[in-house]
Structure formats: structure tokens, C-alpha cells
Amino acid sequence: MYHRNITPKLSAALADTPVVLLNGARQTGKSTLARQLAETSYPAQYLTLDDASTVAAAQYDPAGFVAGLSGPVVVDEIQRAPELFLALKAAVDRDRRPGRFLLTGSANVLLLPRLADSLAGRMEILTLWPLSQGEIDGAAEDFVDRLFAEEFKLPGRVHVDRAELMRRVIQGGYPEVVARADGARRRAWFGAYLTTILQRDVRDLANIEGLTALPRLLTLLAARAGALLNLADVSRGAGVPQTTLKRYLTLLEATYLVTLVPAWSVNLGKRLVKAPKLMLNDTGLLGYLLGSDEDRLKGEGGPLGGLLENFVAMEIHKQAGWSRARPQIFHFRAQTGQEVDLVLENQAGEIVGVEVKAAASVGGGDFKGLRSLREMAGRRFKRGVVLHAGSEAVPFGENLFALPIAALWRGDNAPRKSGEK
């Protein structure tokens, strides 16, 4: 059992909000976490819509199904009975006590308007990604919050050799995969997992023509992970019209297989028209789709760059979910061609830039993009960091630092209590 670092946020939401939805891809541990809370700090009845009888009852008479529930209730895989959302809305409007319903879902309701609109103002949504590196190691990472701290303290020497870094990248964070030491068994799991998602969950969300195109499209997108999303290019490569491609992308986003990182600009309007970057939700899954393994990544010429950027991006997405800063995450590309892989913006409008390098050392030229971002952001710029595959943490000018990638999960973060994994 892994301790999930989002648990305090989840408990806080249940203490003051009538409906809480724990969203995320299948097999990330949502049901396990919900069951654990229902048996301990949040005593509740547990129902899963993966059970044929339960989902049939919910779909046949949603209002009667909800009316028959008493006390706090966990409803697992809520996306399988979207009819329940209106019934839950009616129940909450009659009784707005906090913590009445804890829902889990393997589809992003923010991308499914018929679901999202039903409980607007009544529901808090949290996302559970695959395990973070700190959760695997038993630590509560606070890297994102340290980036926004008034005073930034350089971590000590953090040594993670290339072999261990490759292992972490290619393993990813799905709990079932983390438990498998054998690479062939991990690949078998990913193959079965994608078959289930693409043949079951996508069908549940939409009636798709040409479902066989999705596996090929996902592999095509994996080859472009970390790059700007060029719809025309992907459309040509996949052999599908752009209108169909956009629909498929929405479904892949809705099932949390891919994540789009929007562009950052001082001008809010320009953010909407600039191309986003594409990331997959897990580098274990990404490596599987690319046919990469630890042996291929060991050499300096291995396909590490895109995998490593995706790895860092998703670790930061995970930490953002439980951080105090709760930043939005963007990428940056100036007209002059200068780029920053990730831009974090907190609610106060403060900006932090994060650049990722696969090399074991960095030089002044690696900070060009961050300097361009600093110039554009002005006083809003808090600091910029280049994360590299080495072990040294050093300053590189005013509010600019080079840090080991391992500082993401090793540094000033808090260890778990003894015996708690």
C-alpha cells in the first residue's frame, strides 16, 4: 500500500464540499484510495459501477438509486452511469452537508460538458495520477512549493546515476507496473491495459467509427511527446481528417492517456491560439509505445530527451495537485525561437520556469530560454531552474539555478513515518 500524497487535499475537500470527484486514468489507485478512506477516516458505503447489477440499477432509475443511499457514499467509476449526475445534483440541492458523496472516475468530466455542468458549484475535482517518485520512495515531495518560496535553498548533492534514472523513467508510476521487476512482464501489462482502455472505456464515452485507428494514433502521438502539437502533421501521419483527429484527441485526454500543456504568454488571449505541447500521462506507457527499454536508454545517444522531459512534466503535474501553490502549467516559446519546457504560474501571477536537459552538466547557453522568459515576465518572474541528469546544484545568475533531476523527489522533502510505504 502506497501512501498517496494527495490524501490530505482529498480529506480537506470532503470536510467542506458535498461532492468530491477523484478523477484519473484507470489503474492509478483511485479505488484503492477511496476504499481506504471509506474504511478509516471517511466511513462510507462503497459501491462500484464496474458491477453489472449496480450499474444496471443506477442507469434504470437514477433518482431512485440515489434516494436509496443513506450516509456518506463512495461511488466508484461514476462515468459508467452519467445519468446519476442530475440525480446527485437534486439530492445535494436538498441537503448540502459536506462529504455526502465521494465519486471516482476514469474520465475527465471537464471534457464532458453533460457531466461537468450538472454539479457546477457543488463538486470539487481532484486528479490522481500514477505514483510519483516520492510516493514510490515514501516521501512527501515539496519541490513545486520550494520553487515558489520567498527564499530558494539549494539542495545538497543529490546523486542518482544514469542507470537508476533510466529505470525510473522506463518504469513509470502505475502501481501494478512498479511491482513488476521484469521488463517483459511490464510490457505485457501495458499491452493489456491499452486494449482495455481503447476497446472499453473509449466505447463507453462515445460511439466511435474506425476504433482500430486509435492504437496507431496513440503510437504516433507518443513519437511526438514533448513537441508542439501540429494537428495538420498528425492528421497526415494518422491518415484521418482533422475533425476526426480532434475528436480522438479529446477522448484520449478524457481517459487521461494524453495531456496537453498550453502555451504561456503575457497576453492571455494569445495563450488560446498558440500550439500546446503533447505529453503522455506516464513514461512507462510512453516507453512501451516507443519500444524503448533501459538498454536502449543506457547509451548517451539513446532516445532519452523526449522521455525525460515527459517524465519531469508529469512529476510536476503530480506535485502541483497537492502543493500549496497549485500552479497552472504551461510551456513557453518566444518569437525568436527561445523555449522553456515548463512554465508554472501560481494564483498570484508569479512565474517559475523549468528547463530539462538529459546531459550530466549544463552551461550558460542552457539558460537562454529562461533568460528570455525572465525578460518577458518582468517582476512576475520568481526563478528559473535547469534540471539535468547530473548530481550538482549550482546558481547560474540572479534567480537562475542548475539542479539535478533527482531534486524533484529528493531534497528537503519530508520522509514518511517509519513503516508507512
Q: Which of 60-64, 77-81, 128-132, 172-176 has the lowest mean pLDDT?
A: 77-81
In a domain, 2, yes or no: no
The domain of 261 spans 133-415
User: Is the residue at 421 inside a domain?
Assistant: no
Res 419: pLDDT: 40
- Domain harbouring 113, CATH code: 3.40.50.300
Please indicate, yes or no, whether residues 247 and 377 belong to a single structural domain of this protein.
Answer: yes
Whether residue 217 lies inside any domain: the answer is: yes
Same domain, 405 and 286: yes
> Looking at residue 1, what is its pLDDT?
79
Question: What average pLDDT does the chain have?
Answer: 89
3-class SS of residue 381: strand
Are both 31 and 149 inside the same structural domain?
no
Given 112, 127, 142, the domain boundary residue is 127
pLDDT in tens, 189-239: 999 999 888 877 777 777 655 467 788 899 999 999 999 999 999 999 999
Task: Report the pLDDT value the prediction gives residue 326, as an integer from 0 to 100.
Answer: 94
Predicted confidence at residue 271, as pLDDT, reads: 66
**What grid cell was written down for 27?**
489503474
pLDDT of residue 198: 82
- 374 & 328 share domain: yes
Q: Are residues 172 and 115 part of one domain?
A: no
Residues 183 and 286 in one domain: yes
* Confidence check: pLDDT of 300 > 50: no
How many domains does the chain divide into?
2
- Single out the residue in 102, 127, 152 at which a domain terminates: 127
Say what percent of the chain tops pLDDT 70.
90
**420 within some domain:** no
Query: For 403-416, what is each residue's pLDDT tens digit?
Result: 999 999 987 654 44
Q: What is the full DSSP assignment across 8-70?
A: HHHHHHHHH-SEEEEE--TTSSHHHHHHHHHHTTS--EEEETTSHHHHHHHHH-HHHHHHT--
What pLDDT is stored for residue 400 in this prediction?
97
Residues 101 and 185 occupy one common structural domain: no
- Taking the whole predicted model, whether its pTM rises above 0.85 is answered as yes
Please say whether the beta carbons of 44 and 73 come within 8 A: yes
**Which residue, 127, 162, 192, sits at the end of a domain?**
127
**189 and 248 in a common domain:** yes
For 394-418, give one letter per residue: b (16+ CB within 10 A) or e: eebeebbbbbbbbbbbbbebeebee
Domain contains 1:
no
CB 176 within 8 A of CB 293: no
